[in-house]
Structure 1
Amino acid sequence: MSIHNVTTTWKGKMQFESTNSSGETVLINAGEENGGEGAGLRPKAMMLSALAGCSGLDVASLIEKMKLEVEDFKIETSANLTEEHPKIYDQVTVEYHFYGANLNEAKLQRAVDLSVEKYCGVMEMFRKFATVEVKTFFHK
């Protein structure tokens, strides 16, 4: 079993600084409409970033292992936020965009599928509370 630790410290008003065990930090802040100053990421947006980052790391590793030619790669996530408190994401769309002149679409799709179905723990966590739709786009 592995334990992950993060320390989150109040910086005043509606801002926090979250630090991982490697010493890396991220600012968390509420939007102006909720008393924040807009600096830093919102907690729910960080969840979408974690989802994209987890899967993206899987796919990037597989791109390297499969020796695939990819000029650029990005993941766009969008989510539906429920109206009632506690407001949660109930539907999430994850779009993988690959750019390049010599894309091997079949192998890239396999890399996405492996991440989504086998490797990405954050994706599996999201499935516990939301419907997750995955789309892949190839741009040549």
Structure 2
Amino acid sequence: MAQEIKTQWEGQMLFNADTLGGNFKIDAAEESGGQGKGVRPKALMLTSLAGCTGMDIVSLLKKMRAEVDDLDINVSGELTEKHPKIYNKVTLEYVFYGEDLKKDKIEKAIQLSAEKYCGVMEMFKQFAEITTVVSYKAKKSS
């Protein structure tokens, strides 16, 4: 199944991206000739990873009847020194919130996402070492 997005150049380093779910701006930082009016391309890759695994996990937890109150996914990536600079190390930090969390089911959902369902993670595995960190909290602080 082919998927298609369209981008339109809006001057300097700014592009508008029309995607399957909406549109947004992509831009470079000012020090790289951009205006800082949009997300950076490499940051979008990390965002895609978080979104893909997050959607897997919440769907799996619902099916497992192990829902959580909230979930934060923080992703950090380390870039290589030489061009083309690519992510060679990525850390996914999952923070689950709720009372009486079913940690065994949560960890199973993370494993299933990483090993079976998340296509973005599978792509990242081709070029980066992925580390996963999981923590549990009763409540999200305001």
Alignment length (residue pairs): 138
Q: Equivalent of 1:111, from 102, 109, 117?
A: 109
- The question of whether the paired residues in 2 share the 8 Å contact of 1:52 and 1:76 is answered with yes
Partner of 1:134: 132
TM-score (normalised: structure 2)? 0.93
Root-mean-square deviation over aligned CA pairs: 1.0
Query: Which blocks of at least 5 consecutive residues in structure 1 are unaligned?
Result: none
Question: What is the 5 A alignment of 1:55-134?
Answer: 55-134=53-132
Secondary structure, counterpart of 1:12 in structure 2: coil
Q: Equivalent of 1:53, from 51, 54, 64?
A: 51
- The question of whether the paired residues in 2 share the 8 Å contact of 1:69 and 1:102 is answered with no
Partner of 2:5: 6
TM-score (normalised: structure 1)? 0.94
Deviations 1:92-127 (A, max 9, x none): 111111011121111111111100111001001001
- The question of whether the paired residues in 1 share the 8 Å contact of 2:58 and 2:67 is answered with no
Runs of 4+ in 1 over 6 A off after TM superposition: none
Is 2:15 the counterpart of 1:16?
Answer: yes
Distance 2:89 2:4 in 1: 28
How much has 1:90 moved relative to structure 2? 0.5
- Matched letter for residue 17 of structure 1: N
- Matched letter for residue 120 of structure 1: C
Deviations 1:38-59 (A, max 9, x none): 1111000000000011111100
- The question of whether the paired residues in 2 share the 8 Å contact of 1:77 and 1:93 is answered with yes
Distance 2:104 2:36 in 1: 41
- The question of whether the paired residues in 2 share the 8 Å contact of 1:82 and 1:90 is answered with yes
Distance 1:20 1:38 in 2: 20
How much has 1:21 moved relative to structure 2? 3.7
Percent sequence identity over aligned pairs: 48
